Amino acid sequence: MKFNTKVIHEGQGVDPVTLAHVSPIYQTSTYILPDYAAAVEANKPGDPGFHYSRTKHPSEYELSCKLAALELTEAAVSCASGLGAISLASMNLLSSGDHFIFGDVVYGCTHTLFTKVLPKFGVEHTIVDMKDPEAVRQALRPNTKMVYIETPSNPTLKCVDIRAIADIAHSQEGITVVTDNTFATPFNTNPAELGSDVVVHSLTKYLCGHGTVVAGVVCGTKEFVQSCRAPYLQTLGSTIDPFAAWLVMQGLKTFAVRMERHCENAMKVAEFLEGHPKVERVYYPGLASHPSHEIAKKQMRSFGAMMSADIKGGMEGAATLMDNVRIFGLATSLGTVDSLIQHSPVMSHAGMTPEARHAVEIYDNQVRISVGLEDVEDLIEDLDQALSLIRHA
């Protein structure tokens, strides 16, 4: 199957009881066992049935099978949020005394999990600029267990070479490579094809696409996903609820066509911003001026619909833009059908110190833009009129 067909048909069946065209929402916490012998089987690892919705339920399972098919992995497990998925994968992979490596630009709360929560459990980390894969080799230690990649990264769209980093990580035994593929989505990149062992997503973004749920997924081998379900999901309890899973399934039906338009619109918006006198710099991997353009061309089918821009006139200039757009919503999320704008320093990356932010090019006059599916002429006109209100020499 090619991509569009896969998005619609893979990993999903007809409801066996009613033959409903669209799978029902299995709104139940528990499942009746036919007999005592089934109860004895029920808790064995890898049991294919449904017993209690904290570890697996049909709405979750159908969604996970589809996502595994889109990410070219054996299996997947869906979670209550993207961070739920990232916590699940990292708790599974790391024990006290272990070390892991992650990139210097990652989603704000991922940074918080890695630098404030995991250290409490005796897990050490090294933050590296992954634009040079050799930096990952330099950071390897005998106790390194996970290398965590986010590409393109939030919010500066820095891209890293998944293949090169995975090869370096795998040169040492016992290291699992995890990639957050939220920004690229499987429409643009399949990290598993490039050597990443595990792929995580915030389904809240493009995969759902409509801003109606918070959800996440961990994709990987059958064995890894099974161990994520039990004991980790079983005990951490970051389970996706049936209605949320069902909503993501509905959103996914239009995922491929949405992505086409998202990426097409984003390229035009990025070009417009790059030529605008009130804009200092645009961060979009589709632009030849972006330092990651070559890597992006190598591992992305198109360049996604996220970008950041440094606005002239400092923080005040950025605020004028955000306060005066009419179509763009001022909101922290991304990947929805409607266009959004936010201020990374005080919103998504408020958890980092100003020094840490500036060191990785998250500047105070920087806005992050999620380009939606509106007519691109309207989006450009909206940005233009708001930018024109900035008073700057």
Ligand X SMILES: *Cc1c(COP(=O)(O)O)cnc(C)c1O
Positions marked catalytic: 54, 107, 180, 205
In the complex with ligand X, which residue's Cβ is closer, 139 or 214? 214
Residues 204 and 73: their CA atoms lie apart, in Å, by: 20
Q: Cα–chain-centroid distance for residue 242?
A: 21
Quick one: which segment of 120-128, 175-183, 285-293, 365-373 binds ligand X (CB under 6 A)?
A: 175-183
Is 283 a binder of ligand X (CB under 6 A)?
Answer: no
Structure tokens at 216: 């996440």
In the complex with ligand X, which residue's Cβ is closer, 182 or 265? 182
Beta-strand pair 216-220/176-180 = unpaired
In the complex with ligand X, which residue's Cβ is closer, 150 or 382? 150
Residues 121, 96 contacting (CB under 8 angstroms): yes
Looking at 125, 205, 229, 312, which residue binds ligand X (CB under 6 A)?
205
Residues 233 and 87: their CA atoms lie apart, in Å, by: 10
Is 83 a binder of ligand X (CB under 6 A)?
Answer: yes
Least distance CB 334 / ligand X (angstroms): 6
Is 265 a binder of ligand X (CB under 6 A)?
Answer: no
Is 191 a binder of ligand X (CB under 6 A)?
Answer: no
Long-range contacts of 232-238 (CB under 8 A, 24+ apart): 232/88, 232/91, 232/92, 233/54, 233/55, 233/77, 233/79, 233/88, 234/54, 234/55, 236/84, 236/87, 236/88, 236/91, 237/54, 238/79, 238/80, 238/81, 238/84, 238/85, 238/87, 238/88
Helices 376-387 and 255-274, packing angle to 10 deg: 30
With CB atoms as reference, the residue minimizing the distance to ligand X is: 82
In the complex with ligand X, which residue's Cβ is closer, 200 or 390? 200
132 phi/psi in degrees, rounded to 5: -105, 105
Least distance CB 208 / ligand X (angstroms): 9
Is 180 a binder of ligand X (CB under 6 A)?
Answer: yes
Is 71 a binder of ligand X (CB under 6 A)?
Answer: no
Name the nearest CA neighbour of 203 among 106, 86, 113, 112.
86
In the complex with ligand X, which residue's Cβ is closer, 202 or 320? 202
Is 267 a binder of ligand X (CB under 6 A)?
Answer: no
Looking at 26, 100, 148, 183, which residue binds ligand X (CB under 6 A)?
183
Sheet architecture: strand order including 279-283: 279-283, 306-311, 366-370, 340-343, 329-330
Quick one: which segment of 13-21, 178-186, 230-238, 350-358 binds ligand X (CB under 6 A)?
A: 178-186
**Length in residues, the chain:** 393
Is 148 a binder of ligand X (CB under 6 A)?
Answer: no
In the complex with ligand X, which residue's Cβ is closer, 200 or 386? 200
Looking at 92, 190, 196, 202, which residue binds ligand X (CB under 6 A)?
202
Q: What does the per-residue mask of binding to ligand X show for 206-225, with x meaning CB under 6 A?
A: --------x-x---------
Name the nearest CA neighbour of 219 among 240, 245, 190.
190
CA angle 381, 335, 72 (to 5 degrees): 140
Name residue, tokens 């904290």.
54
Of residues 105-124, which lie at the interface with ligand X (CB under 6 A)? 107, 110
Looking at 81, 238, 265, 299, which residue binds ligand X (CB under 6 A)?
81
Is 186 a binder of ligand X (CB under 6 A)?
Answer: no
Q: Site residues (CB under 6 A) for ligand X?
A: 81-83, 107, 110, 150, 154, 180, 182-183, 202, 204-205, 214, 216
